[in-house]
């Protein structure tokens, strides 16, 4: 098969449209200083991943979602996935109980428009750079 034949075959497998459609939803973060920032987050992003569009992302302290540092208060829950068993287990371990109004940004996922959460702690770039 020639390279043009391979290319044609690959295009057929991928589809005529090329790249798949990416769904984005608007969500609002209320920052620790009280200001609000609205971002467009891709569907299924965690809230922590969606916070990358903020001036400073939500602070996290662990690689596997077990520390509880990234807790946010849910102001408007539309557009946020239901809590997984893993998230509920971590919340119970750290906070003593699971409250659906307090979610872990590393577990909760964007699944529609209208989410609004209050962030308690943002990542501090100055502490990493060593300038206090």
Report the side by side order of strands in the sheet with 36-42: 36-42, 24-30, 115-119, 71-76, 102-104
What pLDDT is stored for residue 127 in this prediction? 65
- Among 83, 79, 69, 65, CA closest to 28: 79
76 and 116 in contact (C-beta within 8 Å)? yes
Domain assignment of residue 62, given as a range: 22-129
List the CATH number of the domain containing 70: 3.10.20.30
- Does residue 101 fall inside a structural domain? yes
112 and 78 in contact (C-beta within 8 Å)? yes
- Does residue 27 fall inside a structural domain? yes
d(CA 132, CA 125) in angstroms, rounded, equals: 10
- Does residue 15 fall inside a structural domain? no
61-107 residue pLDDT tens: 887 888 888 999 999 999 999 999 999 999 999 889 999 999 999 99
19-54 residue pLDDT tens: 678 899 999 999 999 999 999 999 999 999 999 999
104 and 91 in contact (C-beta within 8 Å)? yes
Q: Determine phi and psi for 32, rounding to 5 degrees.
A: -55, -30
- Does residue 11 fall inside a structural domain? no
When divided into structural domains, the chain yields a total of 1
What pLDDT is stored for residue 105 in this prediction? 95
In the DSSP assignment, the letter for residue 95 is H
pTM above 0.75, yes or no: yes
């Amino acid at each position: 098969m020639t390279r043009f034949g391979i290319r044609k075959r690959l295009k057929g497998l991928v589809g005529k449209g090329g790249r798949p459609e990416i769904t984005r939803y608007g969500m609002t973060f209320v920052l620790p200083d009280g200001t609000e920032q609205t971002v467009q987050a891709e569907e299924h992003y965690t809230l922590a991943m969606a916070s990358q569009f903020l001036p400073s992302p939500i602070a996290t302290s662990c690689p596997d979602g077990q520390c509880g540092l990234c807790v946010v208060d849910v102001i408007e829950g539309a557009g946020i996935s239901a809590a997984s068993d893993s998230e509920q287990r971590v919340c119970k371990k750290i906070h003593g109980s699971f409250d659906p109004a307090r979610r872990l940004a590393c577990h909760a996922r964007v699944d529609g428009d209208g989410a609004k959460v209050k962030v308690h702690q943002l990542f501090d770039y100055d502490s990493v750079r060593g300038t206090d």
